[in-house]
Amino acid sequence: MSMTIINPSSFTLVIFSFTLVLALGMLSLIAKKPKGQLPPGPRGWPIIGNLFHMIMNRPVHVWIHRCMEDMQTEIACFRFARVRVITVTSSEIAREVLREKDEALADRSESYSSNLISHGYKEIVFSSYGENWKLMKKMMTTKLMSPTTLNKTLGDRTLEADNIVTYVFNLPRPGSINVRDVALTYCHAVMMRMMFGQRHFDVAAEDGGLGPKEKEHMDAIYQALDCFFCFNVTDYLPFLRGWNIDNEEEEVREAVDILNRCNDPIIHERMHLWRNKGGKETEEDWLDILITLKDDQGMPLFTFDEIRAQCKDINVASIDNTMNNVEWTIAEMLNNPGILEKATNELDVVVGKDRLVQESDIPQLNYIKACSRESFRLHPANAFMPPHGARQDTTLAGYFVPKGSQILVSRLGLGRNPNIWDEPNVFKPERHLAGHVRNSMDVTLMEPEMRFVIFSTGRRGCAGTKIGTSMTIMLLARLLQGFEWTLPNDTSQVELVTADSNLFMAKPLLACAKPRLAPTLYPKIQVYNSEKLFSWKNYQHM
């Protein structure tokens, strides 16, 4: 699940080999002179701009933020061939992007990976702004993510919250536990139940974890994410597509093929059930809803390709944020035992130790939500939000932004901006219990002032904010309530280092978990698959 790292040396020859070709076509490649002053940016080469610098400086997000720091600017312009990429690290400018200029900047840019993942832009995340996108967004908001649907699927989420505490309870002790694997198991299981109504594609794992097919599916999701966020050179020089430079195209094709092999049989079977055999008594999951939606003429609203593209959106969106947040939060707590104690005490006061924490308790768990917010601020899953595209000429912070520009709001830059945050690199959950939430009884995972980004906002905002909040806080709360977390004997401090190519922890978090509730509160693991119940009896460790 490591993000693709492009080898700079292999690109050097390619870039210079095509310089002559580019020069011959420079009239079509050189952008028109801008109508106003562009944001500041590093000097680039003729024709290719900063593309060579992008190739030679990996990971790109580190180079971009370093350039902005050197220029002492909160908005910058990088030119990758014909594409101008505008980066933003200021909350004020972020509000301009996502509120004031929201409609003008509501487009998406094309890329090889997004085209493949979305089956030709037939879904909501990657498709261009327009009537078809508006229809899909409306259906996502009013049908799949409606309060009625989320309430209907509460039992599925609760079952997996039960499963995960028992899964951890049953892991061998003494010994350390891979917290990332635990988080991924929960996230994938919840996503599968809500999407397809089943936990496994095939054979269930006997310990209640992920089976072989689920692990393959999970790896493909992360491989697809890596490809989307890694600044592929062919996205800026499209004529290089087909050359499979540094294996980029093969990797995303491989990931999409795996997702198709896992998802498509379920989708085909369910579509046949609903459209050829009369269906079921009621819609039971998100897939049922997507298949049964009708247009004004009473015809199916979505095609097979549109449904499979929407399923991939949900596959990807359901996992990385929650997994990354919970792993980093527990890591920070282990390095700050006082914070861990406060969070555990809150659970003991609000919930007690005679029952398991439920989603209905979340509004009262303000300190735990503050910890999660602080982790989102300091350790976002990705350096940037998905790129916004300029549908027309506009301005940002007084600078000219040409039509076709990509705008990247920096999650990392906002969350660690010293002009916004006191001691920005220090984990302090208390900062979220005052200030803008001083008059609120409920700390939320929303950030209306754009001081940092948890879920995307604006027209292109995340439709799954509520379910994302529930999954994140429930997983964190269940793990903290159910277990006393400590570092392994040979570890004095968690090394809070990000991976070379993304913002996940460089190494999966290993920690020891001692049950802190009565054994009877850890229920049996239940795995429903193809209308059958697989149940493994939990056992008490000596």
pLDDT of residue 348: 98
pLDDT of residue 32: 59
Most confident of 6-15, 99-108, 275-284, 473-482: 473-482
Most confident of 13-17, 365-369, 447-451: 365-369
In a domain, 196, yes or no: yes
Whose tokens are 């969106």? That residue is 317
Most confident of 12-21, 120-129, 438-447: 120-129
pLDDT beyond 90 at 335 = yes
| 136 C-beta neighbours (distance < 10 Å), count | 22
Average pLDDT over residues 309-336: 95
Binding-site annotation: residue ranges: 462
In a domain, 212, yes or no: yes
What's the mean pLDDT when you consider all of the chain? 89
Higher pLDDT, 478 or 132: 478
pLDDT tens-digit profile of 336-386? 999 999 999 999 999 999 999 999 999 999 999 999 999 999 999 999 999
pLDDT tens-digit profile of 408-417? 999 999 999 9
Q: What is the CATH number of the domain that holds 99?
A: 1.10.630.10
In a domain, 2, yes or no: no
pLDDT beyond 90 at 268 = yes
Average pLDDT over residues 78-99: 97
pLDDT beyond 50 at 6 = no
Vertex 216 angle, CA 243 and 460, to 5°:
70
Higher pLDDT, 274 or 4: 274
pLDDT tens-digit profile of 47-73? 899 999 999 999 999 999 999 999 999
Amino acid in the structure at residue 159: L
C-alpha to C-alpha distance for 481 and 458, rounded to whole angstroms: 35
In a domain, 513, yes or no: yes
The DSSP line for 132-157 is: HHHHHHHHIIIIITSHHHHHHTHHHH
Which letter, b or e, does each residue of 223-252 get, where b requires 16 or more Cβ atoms within 10 Å of its Cβ?
Answer: bbbbbbbbbbbbbbbeebeeeebbebbebb
Binding-site annotation: residue ranges for heme: 462
Confirm if 328 and 322 have CB atoms less than 8 A apart. no
Please tell me the least confidently modeled range out of 60-64, 385-389, 436-440.
436-440
Q: Confidence band (pLDDT; 50, 70, 90) for 7?
A: very low
pLDDT beyond 60 at 213 = yes
Q: Confidence band (pLDDT; 50, 70, 90) for 531?
A: very low
pLDDT beyond 90 at 299 = yes
pLDDT of residue 540: 33
Task: State the burial class of residue 312 (Cβ atoms within 10 Å of its Cβ: 0-12, 13-18, 19+).
Answer: buried
pLDDT of residue 86: 99
Q: Which domain holds residue 460?
A: 8-536
In a domain, 541, yes or no: no
Strand, coil or helix: 225: helix
C-alpha to C-alpha distance for 148 and 150, rounded to whole angstroms: 6
pLDDT beyond 50 at 2 = no
Q: What's the total number of domains in the chain?
A: 1
In a domain, 125, yes or no: yes
pLDDT of residue 5: 38
Which percentage of the chain shows pLDDT scores above 90?
A: 72
pLDDT of residue 387: 94
In a domain, 89, yes or no: yes
pLDDT of residue 448: 87
pLDDT tens-digit profile of 230-264? 898 889 998 888 888 778 889 999 999 999 999 99
Average pLDDT over residues 33-37: 79
pLDDT beyond 50 at 500 = yes
pLDDT of residue 537: 35
pLDDT beyond 50 at 148 = yes
- pTM of this structure: 0.91
And the tokens for 155?
């039992």
